[in-house]
Structure 1
Amino acid sequence: MSESSRRFLPAAHCTPEIAEEGIAMSDPRVVAVRVADCGEPLVSLRDDDRFLIDERKATTTEAFVMIRSGLVDQLWAAEKYLRERDHRLRVLECYRPPAQQSQYFQKEMSRLSSEHPDMTADQLIELAGRYVSPPWVAPHSCGGAVDVTLASLDGTELDIGYRINATPKRPGETSFLDAHTLPEDVRANRMLLLAAMAHGGWVPHWYESWHFEIGTRFAALMTDLDNSVYGVIADPHAESLRLND
């Protein structure tokens, strides 16, 4: 990991504090964080046999398994933590192209607008940003976020109390803070995943207990840093896609 991105990690791989309030990606405090991109490239986890890739979010370009190069070691730290406890990660999604993120956000805005016709545009953006990040701050589009779930050593996915990307979402199903509402074994699985990712320096998201970040605006806010080290980056496959049209 580069020195510029290493400075972003919580001290001594401590468990990041989970806010007592839900902070959406569209929150003005997130948007206000300054970006000072350290320039780390994207690399593919497909080339690293230490990680188990879940194919449900697979794309034709393989963008979904790309991540900033400095974060591979941080993901491996979480993986090792779990292997020592007879578990492992299933990696669902890392990088998400900005155009794809924009489509997701606009779809969520349209859905919410039909459900809440009296809401203002700002209110809709705040509500949508709880579960779908606005493209201008999207952590996945920075290459600094991962969606992961828990598995047994043989790769079988374990129950952690939610169906990833389910719509609509209920906080009791998705939030670490509401994990007490889950069956004991499911709650234990969810908290094991949190412990493993925190061990690797990853910052959890209040609304989505499968989502973790390092180096992003949201992570900077949650760890009291002045700036993020990863900004939104263009889809590395976009040019080849245009050529193949």
Structure 2
Amino acid sequence: MPEIAGEGVAMSDPRVVAVRVADCGEPLVSLRDDDRFLIDERRATATETFAMIRSGLVDQLWMAEKYLRERGRRLRVVECYRPPTQQSQYFQEEMSRLAALHPELTSDQLTELAGRYVSPPWVAPHSCGGAVDVTLASPDGTELDIGYRINTAPPRPGEMSFLDAHALPEEARANRMLLLAAMTHGGWIPHWYESWHFEIGTRFAALMSDLDKSVYGVIADPHAESLGLSD
């Protein structure tokens, strides 16, 4: 990986935005149809889009799952695809929250800060179908401690990062690093700010891998028309 992979690069970083997109056209498929994976229900939706992923990434996720099974652990898949309208809502909510806390910041500064934890909708890896949020589980599916609950604010800055896990209890730190080892074994690129989040084929992943283009761009919600929604 290039040296940039050791930096705290936000999804809103201009270097991420600048990566060219050449979408390969792979469809979304549902992990619900594959009993090899343990699906966490906390992000379940009526249309089940949260369990959908680009078809070319199923084998990559299975590589990580097999790595963990060989060590007496499993993945819990929390969220994959996220519709652009939902991503826009999350991002605007985060912008509003930060604007109230930091009225002195400019719009660009707020966008950069918000982009550390919530991707801007125009580059959002979940809305590309190329990102997964996962955590670690025992063989019976019980979630294990990796130092946080997914999508919760950390008590201290950097606590959710792989690069700043030294303050965690030994068991939580070991679990976190096992998750990292499994996912990178499967070819997944970790996100510096969120140690549950991994990507392949996205703009962020391309930047971290020193590639000149991404193969997954933002795609519309496959259920949007039937629900009367517009992305």
Residue 241 in 1 paired to residue 222 in 2? no
Question: Of 145, 161, 174, which aligns to 2:131?
Answer: 145
The one-letter amino acid of 1:129's match is: G
Return 5+ residue gaps in structure 1 as ranges.
1-9, 11-15
User: 2:200, 2:5 → 1: CA distance?
Assistant: 16
Aligned equivalent of 1:194 = 180
Query: Aligned in 2, Cα 1:107/1:61: closer, same or farther, shift over 3 Å?
Result: same
Deviation at 1:17, TM superposition (A): 7.3
Q: State the identity as a percent.
A: 86
Question: Of 70, 73, 82, which aligns to 1:96?
Answer: 82
Further displaced range: 177-186 or 34-43: 177-186
Q: Is the 8 A contact 1:18 1:206 kept in 2?
A: no
Residue 50 in 1 paired to residue 36 in 2? yes
User: 2:202, 2:208 → 1: CA distance?
Assistant: 10
Aligned equivalent of 2:151 = 165
Deviation at 1:83, TM superposition (A): 0.2
Question: Of 98, 102, 108, which aligns to 1:112?
Answer: 98
User: 2:155, 2:79 → 1: CA distance?
Assistant: 19
Q: Is the 8 A contact 2:202 2:215 kept in 1?
A: yes
Residue 69 in 1 paired to residue 55 in 2? yes
Query: Aligned in 2, Cα 1:80/1:18: closer, same or farther, shift over 3 Å?
Result: farther
Aligned equivalent of 1:3 = none
SS of the equivalent of 2:47 reads coil
The one-letter amino acid of 1:199's match is: H
**Count of residues paired in the alignment:** 229
User: 2:97, 2:140 → 1: CA distance?
Assistant: 38
Question: Of 190, 193, 200, which aligns to 1:214?
Answer: 200
Q: Is the 8 A contact 1:172 1:181 kept in 2?
A: no
Aligned equivalent of 2:211 = 225
User: 2:159, 2:73 → 1: CA distance?
Assistant: 22
Q: Any residues of structure 2 matched to 1:14-29 within 5 Å, and which?
A: 19-29=5-15
The one-letter amino acid of 2:100's match is: S
Q: Is the 8 A contact 2:126 2:132 kept in 1?
A: yes
Deviation at 1:171, TM superposition (A): 3.4
The one-letter amino acid of 2:213's match is: N
User: 2:62, 2:197 → 1: CA distance?
Assistant: 16
Query: Aligned in 2, Cα 1:183/1:169: closer, same or farther, shift over 3 Å?
Result: closer
Give the alignment's Cα RMSD to 1 decimal: 1.5
The one-letter amino acid of 1:208's match is: E
1:157-205 Cα shifts (integer Å, max 9, x gaps): 0000011111366433200011111111110000000000000000000
Q: TM-score, normalized by length of structure 2? A: 0.96
SS of the equivalent of 1:180 reads coil
SS of the equivalent of 2:173 reads helix
Query: Aligned in 2, Cα 1:169/1:226: closer, same or farther, shift over 3 Å?
Result: farther
Q: TM-score, normalized by length of structure 1? A: 0.91
User: 1:151, 1:168 → 2: CA distance?
Assistant: 21
User: 1:134, 1:169 → 2: CA distance?
Assistant: 24
